[in-house]
Structure 1
């Protein structure tokens, strides 16, 4: 719950169940979004977030992964620890301890939030008015043909 509270997803309603966030994409839409942690090959180690768009009748419509490394979520922490791409723990969080500070302490969630917002905008029906059409000058009406050619 704490991670998603800090992430502040941009949806009108949302709830955390276990380690998964569910939300309505728009008040009048049947579409839902599910965001959970993308695991690695290690138990309780996560390399990003997995987001999915769900429809109540059609099931999962789309799934994508946002890696922490691609969105610079732990860039400051990793730089301070002297680790980079290819190093153990780079761009990862590990939830191996029952006590202590949350494993995402120091995360910069700006890139993830922006990516989630942009992704949701693809799926949310727009209610913006259609752009005004440009007015073309009226063409003179055609004269009836007299049958003569000029």
Structure 2
């Protein structure tokens, strides 16, 4: 069954204009004209047709894979809400993963919160492609933000607290 990879990578909102999804793999050229490429695959678990994260790799056309890192869904809270709502046991094969079987009309990764993954991809890309994320990233929408208000000064007395 299809992983609906193009939709998954679209949900990540990666800022690389020169990118494409082939099969279940995302490819990007973060720096135009540079030889280094970014490849992102789904990483499998020991269970058939079950995925537990993403594998990012920096690839050179002549030298092959130069560096790689695995980003587990569990470590980035991708399915925390879904698993908590479903009371999925932490030690089960379903915790923090998704399988290719799914409910009709829904992607297999339904319930994913991709913010943590996106942030991790941003940090990784900043190492190999410095400044590119900042240049090409779409501006994050400005919502209401909490302003820090200084705490009131605590009056101290010379007496002992009771």
**TM-score between the two structures when normalised by the length of structure 1:** 0.78
Would you say the 8 A contact 1:10–1:117 is kept in 2? Answer: no
Which residue in the other structure is 1:40 paired with? 45
Task: Tell me how many residue pairs correspond in the alignment.
Answer: 127
- 1:78 aligned to 2:83? yes
Change (3 A) 1:126 1:96: closer
Structure 1 stretches lacking a partner, 5+ long:
128-150
Question: 1:110 corresponds to which residue?
Answer: 115
Tell me the SS of whatever aligns to 1:113.
Answer: helix
RMSD in angstroms over aligned alpha carbons?
1.8
Find the aligned partners of 1:126 and 1:114 in 2 and give their Cα distance.
Answer: 15
Question: Does 2:30 align with 1:6?
Answer: no
Residues 52, 61 of structure 1: 8 Å contact kept: yes
Q: Structure 2 vs 1, CA of residues 61 and 87 (structure 1 numbering), >3 Å: closer, same or farther?
A: same
Post-superposition CA distance 1:28-57 (Å, at most 9, x none):
421101001000112211000011000111
Any stretches of 5+ residues in structure 2 without a counterpart?
1-5, 133-162
Task: Tell me what 2:55 maps to.
Answer: 50
Any conservation in 1 of the 2:47–2:93 contact (CA below 8 Å)?
no
Instruction: Please tell me whether Structure 1 or Structure 2 has the larger radius of gyration of its CA atoms.
Output: 1
Shift of 1:87: 2.0
